[in-house]
Structure 1
């Protein structure tokens, strides 16, 4: 705030009190019925215009410039109060008349303030312009006239705020307009049925206006998108979100509102980054907020459906992939640090809920390993193996990185084990009339034995002893299960077949171990 405005802040307070006195007198005259409405309007126009002319004469004298601006501000405030009375309070003027009158007065006021850098004048006029409709609430719904009134007021004051860098001419209209929206909403209690009711139209119009206006202000201000512009932008989204959720409750799921706002803020953040060329607070905050809102919206997709857990896995798994890609492209460890815990939590969540989640059939036909449930397992396993192979956290000490690589690989193999187990179980559940000679228990033993062999192969490929030990443990457990649990009650031929298969797998594991040791010794020599 400049020195002149700081010096005359008491004048600004006095002008606001005088405006309140005018408005109170208007209301009192209405209650008492002293003079006709036409006479009140005529008096307001004459008094306001007269004060503007007299104030202009004083302002042209250098020593009395501040006093002249105060008088002009009072005159314009009186004119605004008259427009509010004639167009909003009593609806005596058509909306086009209100619009023309507002444009004429505001354009003249703006031109003068722009020419003479009259910040004090604009603040007094702004106070009068916002106080008039705030205090003179009509008995009938004349909100469209109020909309035109505020549109002209905001456009002019935002223009001067951008052109002159006067931040209060953005802050006060923003706060005043949303306050007026709340006051008139409560006062009229308008109908809110349907997706395109009048309250949501006005809220959306205000949201878009301030979004564009604040971006323009940032652009003009040496492409500086932080500070008050950032704070007001965030407040704008919060206010619109509140009213949209309130108005559209029952007509539209809140996920769509969050999704819309997420797209808007994500686009604003990307636009800011594109303009500034740097990932500063002004681009990261709206982009992060937009991404969070989009995620919250996407997490609501499928609400009430049995397949909701599947949607959650794909949404958060997709986010993990995006974070990993961003980390590799930018070289910033923060993206990976965010991706790893998300992957772990989603994997744990999927292990808990997958047993009661629909199989994800396509076209009503269940195909093992070719369904959305299997795709969720594969997505999680693929992320884990990618982390294990490429490195969980780039730049970490080798010993710690090797440890994390082993952990993520083991977890990924557990996911693969879950995939194999659940898909085989689903086959038996889905086709109960089909005769499977081995039965579910023996089939799982064979599958887990093959899985143990895959662990040996992975250990040989990655030259990691841990997986040879892990595969050995799985193979021993499968053998114990087959001997002590699965074979009771089974036909002798199937017992022999399963034992033969497990024995073959054991021999293959021995061969892989021997080859792995030979290769290791060759590398060592």
Structure 2
């Protein structure tokens, strides 16, 4: 035992020694790592105290019993100079003094010259020639100052030069348009020279401010001096010269702000002129000519720099190209449509748009001048305009088709080719197409008092709507197909495509046939007008067949039942989407409330019309006035069935099933009451239907109780008790004062018996009802 214990003690001591040495080794390793890090990250000029290589020192450290001395390296931080601080901190004073003040100053100077010129003109202070000479001297003087300062003060010189060019534009326009001192040829020669020089200066300085103030600022010249002479040809020629200068810049520089400004100003001026001053007899050719010139200049400007440098088009570039194309097409269509000959050329004009984009697309493809996004965009424009050429030639629903087709195309390119910009651009186009189709309907429907021929269903309005629905369905399909592979559109885009686009598609699909039903019956109603002159009156009164208006409403309700039922069943069969299921529930609630509160009233009016046959010599009141009631009830039953299946197979929500039961039994009670009144009216029973209602409500309360007990549905039993309570209130509050003795007796006895039966059932099955929990619906 002693030998064994000695052995244990020896091993324990050795283990403790090894543990100590392990701790020392770990400390040595940590110290070496720290020293190595210090040597790596210290300043290059700093030399550590230990110059020996670590490899030579390592063995000594590893075998040393004492912890090594760690050499701490100091990190020397270079001082922060004033220039470095200036780079990091934005200097507001510097910005205002060097940048902002000079721009404000030159703008104020130009405005001052304009105001002074107007004052001198209005008060005849100096002769026209003197005014022009002084203006040129001021402009040229500023130009000389700018050139003089360019070497040492380039930024300041650029601002001065910009103001000088704006003044020279100003004076040249005034000399020609107001004072008639310059002939037209010389005026445009001077403006071309000024534009050329401004373009040259902008490129020489490589500063966008020159182009902004010198070119875009020149747009204000005609308006500052205008007295309403309406010289639109001169104005548009002037604008074309300025835009041509911007086009030249576009081949060398890509100054977005310059393009945006000139683009917006040009089209706003053109749009305002079209809206307020355009006269087809005087301006038809002029409007089309300058429309084409502006479109061509901006089209080339937006392509020039990108194609030259083979740069990728971003969303703003694509947006401007599309907007420019549709402005050209929209204004061109508006000019042509009212012209006797132009109205026949709308289809050709659309094809011309397609050919323009096809030419550009071909050049881009063959010469490989741009990225694939640009090629897809041009190809999309070609397809869009070719697609709508025939509808444009036949009808004015072109805007809807353009936007819907373009939205589908852009979404397809964006999602399948993973080009996010295109997909985002499709979203506003979807909204615009939806607004456009609403405007189309506003102009197409509700004109039933006119004599215009109308073909139900098979007309351009339905065709346009179906093409719109097809475009939206295509977008939804693409979204579903590529949803699992990529999500380039972000959360907002996903929500829009998943919710807004299907909603828009369903609204259009539902509305178009609802509008067709309304239009059909409204036209029948309008054509049923007859004039009758009553005895003793000097004038004839106009009468209409009111049954036709009632049929319009009830057929729209029946159509709603059918549409919402199909929607729910399609969701059950193919999509199984809960979001669409909740939409179906909302639509079901809307249709049900409409029928209960308004549809049953309309049906009662049709029944009364059939019974009394008002103006029967002139209007036909057939048995269908009553028969349509049962068509409506049958379709409501189908809708209830589809919602039941939806709750069971898709939504699977217990609370919703309880709500469904309550709504169903309430509807049965409501409709049964209406049907009782209907039958009693048809069989010419008067007043006793009040008594019959009380008795029927009591019977229904009993039946609801039996159903609630047998199916263990607490909510049905509570509904039955509520019906019984309403029946009692009616009995005491109404029946007591309106019934005779026999009717009162019958009502009270019947209801009393029914209530007793209900109480008996509760007592007989109380263990079945209350001891166990109610089953789930």
Counterpart check, 1:131 vs 2:220: yes
How far, CA to CA, are the matches of 1:5 and 1:155 in structure 2?
A: 33
1:200 pairs with one of 267, 272, 288: 288
Counterpart check, 1:39 vs 2:130: yes
Counterpart check, 1:288 vs 2:380: yes
Counterpart check, 1:48 vs 2:136: no
Corresponding pairs, count: 315
How far, CA to CA, are the matches of 1:286 and 1:86 in structure 2?
A: 44
Counterpart check, 1:175 vs 2:285: no
Change over 3 Å in CA distance of 1:48–1:302 after alignment to 2: closer
Cα distance, 1:33 vs structure 2 = 2.6
Cα distance, 1:284 vs structure 2 = 1.9
Question: Match of 1:155, SS?
Answer: helix
Cα distance, 1:124 vs structure 2 = 2.2
Gaps of 5+ in 2: 1-93, 397-404, 410-415, 418-454, 460-480, 482-777
How far, CA to CA, are the matches of 1:356 and 1:72 in structure 2?
A: 65
How far, CA to CA, are the matches of 1:193 and 1:83 in structure 2?
A: 31
Q: How does 1:66-81 map to 2 (within 5 A)?
A: 66-81=155-170
2:109 pairs with one of 18, 23, 30: 18
Question: Match of 1:218, SS?
Answer: helix
Counterpart check, 1:94 vs 2:186: no
Question: Match of 1:165, SS?
Answer: coil
How far, CA to CA, are the matches of 1:356 and 1:35 in structure 2?
A: 72
Counterpart check, 1:259 vs 2:347: no
> Residue 262 of structure 1 contacts residue 293 of structure 1 at CA under 8 Å; is this kept in 2?
yes
How far, CA to CA, are the matches of 1:44 and 1:277 in structure 2?
A: 46
How far, CA to CA, are the matches of 1:29 and 1:227 in structure 2?
A: 48
Counterpart check, 1:212 vs 2:300: yes
Change over 3 Å in CA distance of 1:266–1:226 after alignment to 2: farther
Aligned position for 1:165: 254
Aligned position for 1:503: none
Higher RCO, 1 or 2 (CA under 8 Å, sep at least 6)? 1
1:109 pairs with one of 198, 215, 218: 198
> Residue 226 of structure 1 contacts residue 282 of structure 1 at CA under 8 Å; is this kept in 2?
no
How far, CA to CA, are the matches of 1:298 and 1:280 in structure 2?
A: 29
Cα distance, 1:101 vs structure 2 = 1.0
> Residue 247 of structure 2 contacts residue 300 of structure 2 at CA under 8 Å; is this kept in 1?
no
Q: How does 1:346-425 map to 2 (within 5 A)?
A: none
How far, CA to CA, are the matches of 1:134 and 1:56 in structure 2?
A: 29
Aligned position for 1:145: 234
Cα deviations across residues 273-315 of structure 1 (Å, max 9, x unaligned)?
A: 44448873322233223322221221244569xxxxxxxxxxx
Give the TM-score taking structure 1 as reference length.
Answer: 0.52
Cα deviations across residues 322-368 of structure 1 (Å, max 9, x unaligned)?
A: x9xxxxxxx99xxxxxxxxxxxxxxxxxxxx9x999xxxxxxxxxxx
Question: Match of 2:251, SS?
Answer: helix
Question: Match of 2:280, SS?
Answer: coil
Aligned position for 2:54: none
Cα deviations across residues 190-217 of structure 1 (Å, max 9, x unaligned)?
A: 4323895211111111112222332223
> Residue 273 of structure 1 contacts residue 279 of structure 1 at CA under 8 Å; is this kept in 2?
no
Cα distance, 1:65 vs structure 2 = 2.2
Cα deviations across residues 412-462 of structure 1 (Å, max 9, x unaligned)?
A: xxxxxxxxxxxxxxxxxxxxxxxxxxxxxxxxxxxxxxxxxxxxxxxxxxx
> Residue 302 of structure 2 contacts residue 321 of structure 2 at CA under 8 Å; is this kept in 1?
yes
Change over 3 Å in CA distance of 1:170–1:278 after alignment to 2: closer
Gaps of 5+ in 1: 305-318, 324-330, 333-352, 358-393, 395-525
How far, CA to CA, are the matches of 1:230 and 1:16 in structure 2?
A: 32
Change over 3 Å in CA distance of 1:171–1:13 after alignment to 2: farther
Question: Match of 1:103, SS?
Answer: helix
Counterpart check, 1:248 vs 2:336: yes
Give the TM-score taking structure 2 as reference length.
Answer: 0.36
Change over 3 Å in CA distance of 1:85–1:219 after alignment to 2: same
Change over 3 Å in CA distance of 1:192–1:93 after alignment to 2: farther
Cα distance, 1:57 vs structure 2 = 0.9
Question: Match of 2:182, SS?
Answer: coil
How far, CA to CA, are the matches of 1:107 and 1:167 in structure 2?
A: 20
How far, CA to CA, are the matches of 1:356 and 1:241 in structure 2?
A: 28
How far, CA to CA, are the matches of 2:201 and 2:251 in structure 1?
A: 16
Give the CA RMSD over aligned residues: 4.1
Cα distance, 1:13 vs structure 2 = 4.5
How far, CA to CA, are the matches of 1:125 and 1:53 in structure 2?
A: 15
